[in-house]
Amino acid sequence: MIASGRLYILLTLGVVLFFLMYINPMFQQVGFVYDAVLLLALALDFATTQSAKQLGATRAVADRLSIGRQNEVLIEVFNQGAAELEMRVRDDHPEEFESEVKEFDFKLKGNSRASLNYNLLPRNRGAYHFADINLRYQSRLGLFWRELKVKAGRDVKVYSDLVALKELSVKLSKSSELGDLRMRRRGHGTDFASLREYVSGDDVRNVDWKATARRDRPVVRVYEVEQEQCLMV
């Protein structure tokens, strides 16, 4: 348990009452009665506050994160009790990651769940570890906070910008659908392309004599011209 600001104020008031007994001894009795009432309130608050066993949480994050890009993390908090709780949630993400949110502060109704989203920005490649999910909720009378650590350890790896690589792959796949990437040019080469009838000016060395004999007219071979190809990796 962690004392709340309200409890610190009430304890300070009790200390003031004992200081006042040096002015008037009557305040000593008032102080004892005040402390007894405060202890009773603490006991009642502890007894009526919902058990931590009725709370739970999960984390959803990709196994592979991208450098220099906002990577989304989803935290889900479950409340199986009937009471509405004042919640504070903090995720133990790797310290090397930049986060836009340090802690969530919200109210969670009974028999419900809350979805919490935040982003992490990695700067370097490597393997990293997520630790526990820390839940904290206020007691019924607001005199203290109860804590719960949900075991959610998980290892992730950080690579180059995978999202940008995927977007590039999509662009390349779409562009390749526009036509054949191989460019055919007639001329001297080594890759056979097709046969066609002989016309004046063709090199006689390209005459296909077998095809000429079958068709009973001159036929020449057409070759593809070798050329460099642009390769994107």
- Looking at residue 183, what is its pLDDT? 53
Q: How many CA atoms lie within 13 A of 52 on its CB side?
A: 13
**Dihedral (C-alpha) 204, 208, 213, 214: value to the nearest 10 degrees?**
-140
**Which two tokens mark 83?**
């009471």
Q: What is the pLDDT of residue 202?
A: 85
Query: Comparing C-alpha atoms, which of 144, 122, 28, 27 is closest to residue 72?
Result: 122
* Identity of the amino acid at 137: Y
What is the pLDDT at residue 165? 75
pLDDT, one tens digit for every residue, the chain (233 residues): 788 899 899 989 888 888 887 888 888 888 888 889 999 999 998 899 999 899 999 999 999 998 888 999 999 999 999 999 999 999 999 999 999 889 999 999 999 999 999 999 999 999 999 999 999 999 999 999 999 999 999 999 998 877 777 777 777 776 655 554 555 555 456 677 888 898 888 888 888 999 889 888 999 888 877 767 777 77
Q: How far apart are CA 4 and CA 154, in angstroms?
A: 32
**Alpha-helix residue ranges (DSSP H) falling in 83-177:** 162-176
CA atoms within 13 A on the CB side of 102: 0
Distances (CA, A) of 109 to 84, 106, 114, 140, 184: 4, 10, 9, 13, 69
Confidence (pTM): 0.63
Q: Give the pLDDT score at 175.
A: 66
Choose among 119, 79, 86: nearest CA to 102.
Answer: 119
169-172: long-range pairs with CB below 8 Å, 24+: 172/232
- In angstroms, rounded to a whole number, what is the distance separating the alpha carbons of residues 32 and 30? 6
Cα–Cα distance for residue pair 110/78, rounded to 1 Å: 9
What confidence score (pLDDT) does residue 166 get?
75
Residue-by-residue DSSP string for 68-108: TS-EEEEEEEEE-SSS-EEEEEEE---TTSEES-S-EEEEE
